[in-house]
Amino acid sequence: MNKSKVDAIFSENVKTEFSTDHNIPTFSFNETVASVFDDMIARSIPGYDEVQKLTELLALKLELSNDDIIYDLGCSTGTSLVRIAETLKNNTQQETYKLPQMIGIDNSAPMIEKLTEKLKAHDLLNDIQAINNSIIDIELQTSKLIISHYTLQFINPELRLKILKRICSSLCTGGYFIFSEKVKHESEEIEALITDSYYRYKAKNGYSKTEIMRKRAALENFLRPFTINQNLELLKSAGFSEVDVVGKELCFVTMICRK
């Protein structure tokens, strides 16, 4: 899509009500979303591939053994775990190397079905466990690495501290939690600027103005982002000794926390 067409899409005020079609369903991670999820997130999240690469590097740094556990909370179709598994395999010189225990948890059955298909395609069915359950209630074993990319933003804000405390308490000393979130900005002017820039980003990746606005309307009251400072305060309250923002692209941040 050329620049003039993108500019035309955004020549109107994108903050106005975008259509007269009021039949916009509430967003859910159903079969329709799961079937296009990998393509959707790759075109919707700036810096997505770099987030995955950073997660792989962190897993390598920890020198995980078969006795260690990696969790991916809100794993969707399992991209992070599959990429970590392949990275660990490709970077070992040990002929008898065994992957750490890798567990993906998601409350969407269609996402778990897509994850299972992906594990079959990558010959990882025996290496990665897929669990269809809510991360709000599940008990976690002691682990060295927990991942949760673009998941907490969909959790009831009143429950996020409870989940973060459980994550922190289940990590071994020196263990890491890496997660990515959509965030809002404390300044209304900056929020408006970043939002407009984000819509331009999506348009350049092939989304129409109608698609962008329908997605925004569907996510309203379902995706409830915090500011960076609110996330940092929650993480410190949860008990993490070190917390840092390691990446930000428009309205998305990645944070690494160490116990």
What is the reported pLDDT for 14? 37
What does the block give as tokens for 56? 């792989």
Residues 6+ apart with CB under 8 A from 114: 34, 35, 37, 76, 77, 78
Q: Please answer whether residues 205 and 43 qualify as being in contact, where contact means their C-beta atoms are separated by less than 8 angstroms.
A: yes
Which domains, from first to last, does the chain contain? 3-258 (3.40.50.150)
Checking if the pLDDT of 200 tops 60, the result is yes
HEC string for 10-33: CCCCCCCCCCCCCCCCCCCCCHHH
Whether 105 and 99 have beta carbons less than 8 Å apart is answered as no
Q: How many Å apart are CA 204 and CA 206, to the nearest integer?
A: 5
Sequence-ordered alpha helix ranges (H) in the chain: 3-9, 31-44, 48-61, 79-90, 109-121, 157-170, 188-204, 209-219, 228-238
CA 159, CA 152: separation in Å to the nearest integer? 9
For residue 104, what is the enclosing H or E element? Answer: strand 101-106
> Cα separations (Å) of 26 from 9, 22, 30, 43, 244?
24, 11, 11, 21, 33
| Least confident range of 7-11, 52-56, 116-120, 242-246 | 7-11
Q: What's the number of CA atoms in the CB half-sphere (13 Å) around residue 66? A: 6
Nearest to 151, CA basis, from 127, 178, 122: 178
Query: How do residues 109-130 score in pLDDT, each as one tens digit?
Result: 999 999 999 999 999 999 999 9
pLDDT in tens, 18-42: 333 555 556 677 888 888 889 989 9
**Distance (Å, rounded) from C-alpha 75 to C-alpha 41?**
13
Query: CA 38 to CA 86: how far, in whole Å?
Result: 18
What is the per-residue pLDDT across 42-57, written as a single tens digit (0 to 9) for each?
Answer: 999 999 999 999 999 9
d(CA 236, CA 134): 24
